[in-house]
Amino acid sequence: MDCLKRSPSFKLTHWLVVLVAVVHSTSGLYEDQIGKFDWRQHYVGKVKFGGFDSSSLDRIIVATESNALAAISAKSGDILWRQVLEKSPRGDIKLLHVPNPGNGVQASGRSSNRAFDVVTVTGASPAMVRGWNSNTGSLEWEWSLLPSAPEKAEHAFWFVAEGSLYHVVPVWGSHIELTEYMVSTGQQAKPTTTRISAAWIKEGKCTIADRFFACGMEQQVLAIDLLADNPQIVAKPLETMALDSPRAVPGEAAIVQDDIMYSLESDFKLALGAEGSALVDDNILEGERVLLRSSVDRARNVLQVSARKLSDNSALEAIEFVADYGETFGSPDLIAVRCKTTGGNGPRGQLACRVLISSKDGALTLIQQGKAKWTREEALADVETADFLDLTLSDAEGAIEEELNNKNGDVFGALQRRITSQISHVKNLVLHVLGLGPAPSKAQKAGLVRDDFGLHKMLVVVTSTGKVFGIDNISGKQHWARYLPEMIGFANGQSIKLMVQRTSRFYPLSAQCLILGRHRDNKNGLIYQFNPITGQPVNGGIVQLPYKIRQASLLHETGPDFLRGVLLLDENNEAHVLPDSLAKYANNFYMFSADRESATIRGYLVEYRNGKLSTVPTWTVDLSGAGKTQQIIAIEGKNPIEHVHSQGRVLADRSVLYKYINPNLIAVATHGPDNIHKYILNVYLLDVVSGSIVFSMSHKRIRPPLQMVHSENWLVYSYYNDKVRRTEVTSVELYEGKTQTNSTVWSSLDAPPMPLVERQSYVLPVAVATMQETITEKGITNKHILFGLTTGAVVEMSWALLDPRRPVTSPEKAREEGIIPYMPELPMPHEIIINYNQTIANIKGIHTAPSGLESTCLVFVHGLDIFVTRVAPSKTFDLLKEDFDYFLITVVLILLTSTSYVVKIFASKKVIKQAWK
- Condensed to tens digits (0 to 9), the pLDDT of residues 31-84 reads 666 778 899 999 999 999 999 988 777 899 999 999 999 999 999 999 999 999
Q: Which of 15-19, 68-72, 623-627 ranks highest by mean pLDDT?
A: 68-72
pLDDT score, position 114 = 42
pLDDT score, position 112 = 35
Mean pLDDT value across residues 577-592: 92
Q: Which residues have C-beta within 8 Å of that of residue 519, sequence separation ≥ 6?
A: 486, 487, 488, 525, 526, 544
Report the candidate in 617, 593, 613, 594 with the shortest Cα–Cα distance to residue 605.
Answer: 617
Mean pLDDT value across residues 605-618: 93
Task: Kindly report, residue by residue over 417-439, the tens digit of the pLDDT.
Answer: 778 777 877 777 777 666 665 66
Q: What does the alpha-carbon distance between residue 659 and residue 783 come to, in Å, rounded to a whole number?
A: 15
Q: What does the alpha-carbon distance between residue 269 and residue 243 come to, in Å, rounded to a whole number?
A: 19
Contact 584, 622 (CB under 8 A): no
pLDDT score, position 1 = 40
Work out the percent of the chain whose per-residue pLDDT is above 90.
61
The residue count for the chain? 917
Q: Which residues have C-beta within 8 Å of that of residue 663, sequence separation ≥ 6?
A: 638, 746
- Does pLDDT of 8 surpass 90? no
pLDDT score, position 27 = 39
How many CA atoms lie within 13 Å of 551's alpha carbon, on the beta-carbon side? Answer: 19
Per-residue confidence band for 857, with pLDDT thresholds at 50, 70 and 90: very high
pLDDT score, position 113 = 36
Q: Could you give the angle at the alpha carbon of 625 between the alpha carbons of 624 and 627, nearest 5°?
A: 100
Mean pLDDT value across residues 683-706: 93
Worst-scoring range by mean pLDDT, 429-438, 604-613, 758-767, 863-872? 429-438
Q: Which residue has the higher pLDDT, 864 or 818?
A: 864
Worst-scoring range by mean pLDDT, 345-354, 574-583, 859-868? 345-354
pLDDT score, position 24 = 43
Q: What is the pTM of this model?
A: 0.89
Q: What does the alpha-carbon distance between residue 759 and residue 735 come to, in Å, rounded to a whole number?
A: 11
pLDDT score, position 5 = 45
Worst-scoring range by mean pLDDT, 221-230, 400-409, 763-772, 890-899? 400-409
Task: Kindly report, residue by residue over 640-681, the tens digit of the pLDDT.
Answer: 999 998 888 888 888 899 999 999 999 999 999 988 888 999
- Does pLDDT of 798 surpass 50? yes
- Does pLDDT of 237 surpass 70? yes
Task: Kindly report, residue by residue over 818-827, the tens digit of the pLDDT.
Answer: 889 999 999 9
How many CA atoms lie within 13 Å of 459's alpha carbon, on the beta-carbon side? Answer: 30
- Does pLDDT of 102 surpass 70? no
Per-residue confidence band for 11, with pLDDT thresholds at 50, 70 and 90: low
Contact 289, 312 (CB under 8 A): no
Task: Kindly report, residue by residue over 505-556, the tens digit of the pLDDT.
Answer: 888 888 999 999 999 989 999 999 999 999 999 988 899 999 999 999 999 9
Helix 395-405 and helix 411-434, axial crossing angle in degrees, nearest 10: 170
Per-residue confidence band for 340, with pLDDT thresholds at 50, 70 and 90: confident
User: What burial letters (b/e) apply to 592-616, b meaning 16+ CB within 10 Å?
Assistant: bebebeebebbbbbbebeeeebebe
pLDDT score, position 771 = 95
Please provide residue 228's backbone torsions phi and psi, each rounded to the nearest 5 degrees. Answer: -75, 150
Task: Kindly report, residue by residue over 103-125, the tens digit of the pLDDT.
Answer: 545 443 343 334 468 999 999 98
Q: Which residues have C-beta within 8 Å of that of residue 889, sequence separation ≥ 6?
A: none
Mean pLDDT in the chain?
A: 87
Worst-scoring range by mean pLDDT, 159-173, 249-263, 382-396, 529-543? 382-396
CA torsion through residues 337, 341, 346, 347, sign: negative
